[in-house]
């Protein structure tokens, strides 16, 4: 009997030997060190923002610089890739050592972002783009250069990537995330469909603290006014 999970990620049933042995289900990621602080910080930023924004969702996996093992038969040839940032919808958000297609019901990333550098740009624009289009069938593919700010995106249409047209603010729409991606303060950020910048956890905490401080100041002014009128503010609140 042919292993059903192998068929799920596109193997030819007639070409699969019946005694095929799958690699262990706990392969570690095999990604090289990041190019620069810009790249590391940008990856962490995208992960933190989207995890915070979707913290109540239990059907999405968000990760970056993590190996996607997609060909169980070619592991010895190092036939795998590690997108800088990727999102998989309709799956368990549990932490993983790597993403193994044969362990994930044949699911490939719904969105991938690659960060360009002098050593990877030609590969990200060429071979990786073709791989994500033809093998991964990833619907949304973006690349961004943290230093030059080059930014481009594509959506899969009839099996081929079509370049996305930016809106008036230069942002690109992700059909998979139902969010915009765009450059803000020299970083790639997410925006809502209404164009609102999605905050980082730190920005959200600072905003909440500012609102609390403004509320406290309003209450203090109101209490002072009541005292001028000879009214005990504590008695009013009671």
228 and 133, same domain (yes or no): no
Q: Looking at the 3D structure of the chain, how many domains does it have?
A: 2
Would you say residue 93 has pLDDT above 90?
yes
Strands 160-163 and 151-157: antiparallel
Q: Which residue has the higher pLDDT, 232 or 126?
A: 126
> CATH number of the domain that 108 lies in?
3.90.1570.20
Average pLDDT on 209-218 reads: 76
Helix (H) or strand (E) holding 4: helix 4-8
C-beta separation of 153 from 140 below 8 A: yes
Q: Which residues form the domain of 218?
A: 203-237
DSSP structure string for 165-234: PP-TTS-EEETTTTEEEEEETTEEEEE-TT-PBPPPHHHHHHHHHHHHHHHHHHHHHHHHHHHHTT--HH
Q: In whole angstroms, what is the distance from residue 111 CA to residue 88 CA?
A: 7
Same domain flag for 209 and 188 = no
Angle CA 178–181–183, to nearest 5: 160
Query: Does 187 share its domain with 212?
Result: no
Residues 189 and 210 in one domain: no
Assess whether 177 and 92 both reside in one domain. Answer: yes
Angle (CA) 92-96-102 rounded to 5° is: 75
Q: CA dihedral defined by 20, 26, 32, 36, rounded to 10 degrees? A: 140
pLDDT at 163 over 90: yes
Give the confidence band of 12 by pLDDT, cuts at 50, 70, 90: very low
Residues 108, 224 within the same domain: no
Return the pLDDT at 1.
Answer: 39
Pairing of strands 99-100, 172-174: unpaired
Q: What is the pLDDT of residues 94-116, one digit of tens each?
A: 999 999 999 999 999 999 999 99
* Of residues 183 and 18, more confidently modeled: 183
- Do both 131 and 79 map to the same domain? yes
User: Residues 129, 14: one domain?
Assistant: yes
Write out the H or E segment, with its range, that includes residue 143.
strand 140-144
DSSP run (H or E) holding 237: helix 233-237
Binning pLDDT at 50, 70 and 90, where does residue 31 land?
Answer: low
| Whether residue 208 sits in one domain with residue 116 | no
> What does pTM read for this prediction?
0.79
Do 147 and 226 sit in the same domain of this protein?
Answer: no
- pLDDT confidence bin for 83, thresholds 50/70/90: very high
Q: Are 233 and 155 in the same domain?
A: no
Taking the CA atoms of 135, 53, 171 and 144 in sequence, report the sign of the dihedral they define. negative
Number of H helices, E strands in the chain: 6, 11
Do 162 and 207 have their domain in common?
no
Looking at residue 182, what is its pLDDT? 98
């Amino acid at each position: 009997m042919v292993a059903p999970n192998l068929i799920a990620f596109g193997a030819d049933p007639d070409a699969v030997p019946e005694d095929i042995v799958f690699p262990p289900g706990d392969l570690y990621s095999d990604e090289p060190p990041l190019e620069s602080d810009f790249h590391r910080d940008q990856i962490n930023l995208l992960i933190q923002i989207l995890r915070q924004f979707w913290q109540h969702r239990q059907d999405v996996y968000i990760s970056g610089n993590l190996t996607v093992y997609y060909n169980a038969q070619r592991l010895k040839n190092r036939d795998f890739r590690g997108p800088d940032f990727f999102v998989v919808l309709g799956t368990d958000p549990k932490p993983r050592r790597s993403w193994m297609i044969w362990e994930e019901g044949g699911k490939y990333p719904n969105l991938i972002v690659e960060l360009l550098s002098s050593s990877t740009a030609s590969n990200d624009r060429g071979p990786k783009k073709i791989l994500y289009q033809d093998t991964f069938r990833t619907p949304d593919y973006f690349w961004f250069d943290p230093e030059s700010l080059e930014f481009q995106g594509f959506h899969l249409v009839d099996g081929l990537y079509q370049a996305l047209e930016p809106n008036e603010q230069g942002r690109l729409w992700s059909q998979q995330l139902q969010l915009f991606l765009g450059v803000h303060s020299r970083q790639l950020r997410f925006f809502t469909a209404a164009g609102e910048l999605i905050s980082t956890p730190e920005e959200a905490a600072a905003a909440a603290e500012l609102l609390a401080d403004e509320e406290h100041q309003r209450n203090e002014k109101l209490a002072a006014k009541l005292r001028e009128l000879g009214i005990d503010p504590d008695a009013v609140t009671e």
